[in-house]
Structure formats: C-alpha cells, structure tokens
Amino acid sequence: MPESVENLRIWQESMDLAVLVYGLTRRWPESERFGLIAQLRRAAVSIAANLAEGLGRGRPGEVSRFARIALGSAYEAYTLLKLAERLGYPGAYTEVMPELDRLTRRLAAYVRHWEQRP
C-alpha cells in the first residue's frame, strides 16, 4: 500500500470504522452471517478500499470518482445499520452510527475537494 494512502486521515478513519463493524457484527445472530452481517461488512470495507483505489490511480478525476463510490458505500452501511436497529440487533445505532456519521461528512467534503480541482 502506498505510503500516501496510509497517511490519509480519512482512509485511517474508514479502516477504524471497518474494525468497529466487524466487532459489532460478531454479536449478531448467526442466522445473519450470510445476510446482513456480510453485506454490512462489505460496505464498510468498501469505503477504505475505494479511497485507496482512487488514490492509487493517481489522477484527480479517478480520486474523485472512487471517493464518490466510497461515499455511496457509507450510505449503504448507514441503511444497513438502520435496518439492524429496527431488527433489534445490539449496538447498531449507538456504537457505530456516530463514527459513520462523522466519516460520511468527511467523505462528502473530500469528494467536493477533489471535484473542485482543475
């Protein structure tokens, strides 16, 4: 992984979010293993992965495009967490949602930054 990716604060925060999601979903019912758990984990991992891929491509347009995909994954994770909350799964809202909300705002600003570049 290029050093620039590891030094990117938003990438570090997205990695932290993925770790939180993995910890949270370990406590959910085994019946959700191939459903909600798998989908939420994929969405969370996708945020960091897309940020890295965009930076790895090296062009502002690509960084912006993959940052938008990462933002979409954050919204997907939000929806899945809201569903988990409605289903009564522990910690879905209180443990992860504050971090996801903060990260989503930062991702939106990151997208705007790259889209405003010449």
Q: pLDDT tens-digit profile of 81-100?
A: 999 999 999 888 788 999 99
Q: For residue 94, how many other CB atoms are within 10 A of its CB?
A: 10
For residues 42 and 35, what is the distance between their CA atoms, to the nearest angstrom? 11
Q: What is the pLDDT of residue 93?
A: 77
Structural domain span for residue 50: 3-115
Considering just the CA atoms, what is the radius of gyration of the chain in Å? Answer: 15
| Residue position matching structure tokens 């933002």 | 71
pLDDT of residue 67: 96
CATH number of the domain that residue 71 is part of: 1.20.1440.60
pLDDT at 107 over 80: yes
| Full DSSP string of 13-73 | HHHHHHHHHHHHHTTS-GGGTTTHHHHHHHHHHHHHHHHHHHHHH-SHHHHHHHHHHHHHH
Q: What's the total number of domains in the chain?
A: 1
pLDDT at 4: 82
Q: How high is the pLDDT of residue 45?
A: 98
DSSP 2: -
pLDDT of residue 3: 59
- At 59 the three-state DSSP class reads coil
